[in-house]
Amino acid sequence: MAEFFASFGFWGEAVWIVIKILVIVAPLLMAVAYLTYAERKVLSAMHLRRGPNVVGPWGLLQPIADGLKLFLKETVIPSGANRAVFILAPCVTFILALIAWAVIPFGPGLVLADINVGVLYLFAISSLGVYGILMAGWASNSRYAFLGALRSAAQMVSYEVSMGFIIITVLLFAGSLNLTDIVMAQKNIWFVFPLLPMAVIFFVSTLAETNRHPFDLAEAEAELVAGFNVEYSAMTFALFFLGEYANMILMSAMTTILFLGGWLPPADVALFTWIPGPVWFAFKVAAVLFVFIWVRGTFPRYRYDQLMRLGWKVFLPLSLASVAIVGGFVAYGLSPAAG
């Protein structure tokens, strides 16, 4: 197929790239929509409720109804807001949540851009996500929104430090910055087993990075009304909503690639190998997403001082120590990737 489009020159290759982007983005947007449905169903089961069950069979059309409702509503912009930045902020958040998927490998060779610094690209994109939230809080011209944005910025920066050190431990074992190489380095054993404490810290850090419960202090209703997005409505609010859930899926994909073997089956036996790699990848991502929802239905919200203490006084020393320990193991040739 690629050779066919390449025969048409520059424009043919451009069309082929657009097709590949659509093949990734369209299912991702559908997954984001139905992740909201899955979250409501899982939480309702935990609370002994029914959840969405009216719009369509088993409530399956509820995400579409919600999307249409937000699309048809009027977008209200506060009179004191900076209109350009106010509108740009949710667009930045949503676009950053999508472009990160350019380097995510779904299977052997199934990746849009198989670059050698895929981990750095992902870390850079996830770090830029704070700008959309800061822009929203400042442009809203509201004290509540601005305080929520500052909370989110401090929270995301704090936990990115620990995530960076944990990613370094994975890179030391894998010996490569390429995401496909990291997955293949786990052919003997998934990194979640030798790096279990780091995998747990990484997952908790992704909760804080995506402003998810119990670290959703940037959107605390009790003291901030709704946080950085309090002045947003209609499609501008929907873009923040979609960006948050797309980031959840992205962080679950990163956890799957770094610790759960990506598209690799649990064992190299006929019972597992007949299932295609992308199916294994999707199943693992769905399992991590279930834990995201499970945590929301289980734990109470942290206080902000507890959040900062956990990031700087617990996770940072542990992740820094793990770099030194894993570096020592690798220096003596004890990497699990070496078999």
Same domain, 14 and 154: no
Q: What pLDDT is recorded for position 73? A: 86
Total domain count, the chain: 2
Same domain, 99 and 211: yes
Helices 196-209 and 316-331 cross at an angle (nearest 10°) of 140
Residue 269, classed as helix, strand or coil, is coil
Residues of the chain with pLDDT > 90, as a percent, come to: 16
Same domain, 94 and 6: no
Same domain, 124 and 260: yes
Is the Cβ–Cβ distance between 213 and 244 less than 8 Å? Answer: no
- Cβ neighbors of 48 (< 8 A, separation 6 or more) are none
Same domain, 156 and 204: yes
Domain end point (choices 24, 44, 64): 64
Residue range of the domain that includes 20 = 1-64
Same domain, 194 and 333: yes
Same domain, 154 and 19: no
**Distance between CA atoms of 315 and 308, rounded to whole angstroms?**
10
Tens digit of each residue's pLDDT (9 = 90 or more) over 165-212: 999 999 988 888 888 889 988 888 889 988 899 999 999 999 988 888
Q: Kindly report whether the global pTM for this prediction surpasses the value 0.85.
A: yes
Same domain, 56 and 133: no
Same domain, 37 and 100: no
Tens digit of each residue's pLDDT (9 = 90 or more) over 149-175: 888 888 888 888 888 899 999 998 888
Same domain, 204 and 281: yes
Handedness of CA 162, 282, 278, 121 (dihedral sign): negative
The first and second tokens of residue 58, run together, are: 């088993």
Per-residue buried b or exposed e for 178-204, using 16+ beta carbons within 10 Å of the residue's own CB: bbbbbbbbbeeebbbebbeebbebbbb
Tens digit of each residue's pLDDT (9 = 90 or more) over 236-277: 888 888 888 898 999 999 999 999 988 888 877 766 778 888
Q: What pLDDT is recorded for position 58? A: 86
